[in-house]
Each structure stands twice: as structure tokens, then as C-alpha cells.
Amino acid sequence: MFKIKILIILITIILSNNHTLSIENKIVVKIDNQIITSLDISNEYKYLIALNPSLKNSKKEDLIKLSKRSIIQEKIKKIEIKKNFNNPKIPQNFLEQILQNVYSKIGIDNLDDFKAYLAANEVDFESVKNKLEIESLWNELIFIKFSTKIKIDEKKIRTRINKNNKFLKSYLLSEISFGVPSLNDLDNKFLEITNVINKKGFDFAALKYSVSPTANLGGKLNWISESSLNENIKKEINDLQINGFTKPIVVPGGFLILQVNDIRNEKIEIDIEKELKKIKNYEKNNQLNQYSKMYFNKIKKNVEIDEL
């Protein structure tokens, strides 16, 4: 009799827990034929915190809102990818390079340590791979659609390299890429972003305002040599101290705010051809990112988003 009572209690607890979970894990957004649940947003929250540890001090409700926006953007991209590719897949070796780029930005040296780090933060590694694969397929889609529109002035780049051939100055930057309805709104938008940067940090502001693919990484970019930067950007960051950030810089499709995270100067005899290739890749990616933002904004208008 005692065992039966215990069994009844256990069943009651399990059913109660399942009921609680069903209430908590509810559908919060419908996007065409895709759904987003409260559990999806919770997992996105953990993912964003894991990739941006500095966000841990931010208010949870603020990050939940950003997590919701982030996963809505991901779902929209996924829908568009399925429209354009049959059985889309990223090669394993390329995915491994992307993973390395992600975990190196948060100071982790190898994949095993990254997996352990994710597990400690209750983030599923396969889910992270899936997210990075979606972003990679999106980038491939943008390349297919817009690569013929890329324009690079190789002669101008060579001149810049030769001008700086005695030493190499590089910047470790973060970015916030954004747009405004009209130029009249720019000052107020910049003031709003500046207030968030000063109160909550550049990482949080990038996650909140940036429409660049780097937003989920707090806007972090890799080291960029000074010769890779156009004169307009170089002029804006030249006098900045570490952790300083620029005023909005006009770029195709919107505006850019850059923060200087670190600076290094190296005396080096630059391999002109190698540096040229690096800068051309940077220019190409920069232009593709602009097309990516414009294309995303275009398709978003044709997607039905119902927030429940």
C-alpha cells in the first residue's frame, strides 16, 4: 500500500512538471510556416550570453527582447534559404573554420574546450552548429545574388599598401551597422545608441541595434590592417583611444559606428601580393554585407510575422 502511494505521488509530480513545462514552452511568434516558442527564446538567450560574456551584467528582460529579435531574423533567413536551395549543406571543413573564428573571439583555443564551455553554459553544441550553418548559407545566397555587383579598385589598394610599406598598423574593431528612416533621425538615433553604449557596453548596443551578421558576436571583427580601411574610416578612427568609438560613418545602405578595442604596430616588410589579396577579400565582404542588409530588409517586408 505504501509503495502504491509513493507511485501515485511520483506520477502526480511528473504530470505536474509536464503541465508546467507545457505552459512555459508556448508559441510566441509565427513566421509563415515557422514557429518560435518561449523555449527557443530562452535557448537563444543562453547562446547570446555564451558568445558575449560581457552581457551577463545586463537586465534579463532586455536580453530576452534581443534574443527574440535575433531568432526572428534567423527564421526569416532560414525561410529564404529553403526557397533558394535544395538540400542546403555547408562543407564540414568550412564549418570548422567558422567555429574556430567564433570561439577564438571569446578567448577559447580549441573545439573541445569550446564544447565544454557551451555545456557549462547550458548551450547545445549541435544547435550552435546549426545557427552558424544557417548564417553561412545566407552568406552564400547573398554571394550568388550580388557577387557580380562587387567593385574593387585594385590600383587604389596597391597605392595604399605601398604608402604604408614600412610598418603595419592594425586595429581590433567592433561594429554597429544601422539605418534610419531619414537623415533627420540620425542625431537622435546616434544619441540613443551612445547612451546604451555608455550604460551597457558596446557588445549590448551591437546586439540591440546592429543589422550586421556580427551582431550576435557583439559586433566583433577580426584584426584589420590600416591599409585595408578606406580613407573615410581611417580618418574617423585615427585619433581614437582604445575603447573609443566613432560618430556614424556613411556606408552604402546606412551608417556604421566603429569601436577600437586594441591597436598594434609592427615593423614589417609587407608582402604586397598577400596584403592585396587580404584587402580585396575585406572589401568584397564589406560590400556583400551591405547587400545582405538591404536584401534582408526587402524580404522581411514580404514575410508574415505574428507575435502572439
Q: 220 by DSSP, 3-state: which?
A: strand
Q: Which amino acid is at 124?
A: D
What was the pLDDT predicted at 166? 65
The whole-angstrom separation of Cα 230 and Cα 183 is: 23
Cell 511520483 sits on residue: 10
- pTM of the shown model: 0.77
Q: Which amino acid is at 303?
A: V
Q: Which helix (H) or strand (E) holds 224?
A: strand 220-225
Q: Which helix (H) or strand (E) holds 173?
A: strand 167-178
Q: 232 by DSSP, 3-state: which?
A: helix
What was the pLDDT predicted at 4? 44
- In this structure, CATH architecture of domain 2-148: Orthogonal Bundle (1.10)
Spatial strand order in the sheet of 34-37: 34-37, 27-31, 305-307
What was the pLDDT predicted at 164? 64
pLDDT digits (tens, 9 = 90+) for 162-208: 776 666 789 999 999 998 888 899 999 999 999 999 999 999 999 99
Domain boundaries, the chain: 2-148, 167-300
What was the pLDDT predicted at 199? 93
Residue pair 54/201 in contact by the 8 Å Cβ criterion = yes
- Look at the chain and count its residues: 308
CA-angle at 72, arms to 101 and 113, nearest 5°: 30
Common-topology check for domains 2-148 and 167-300: no
Contacts of 76 (CB under 8 A, 6+ apart): 31, 296, 299, 300, 303
Residue pair 206/175 in contact by the 8 Å Cβ criterion = yes
Region for 62 from its dihedrals, namely left if φ exceeds 0, alpha if ψ lies in -120 to 50, beta otherwise: alpha
167-300 CATH fold? Chitinase A; domain 3 (3.10.50)
Low-confidence ranges of the chain (pLDDT < 70): 1-23, 164-167, 268-269
pLDDT digits (tens, 9 = 90+) for 55-76: 888 889 999 999 999 999 999 9
Residue pair 49/121 in contact by the 8 Å Cβ criterion = yes
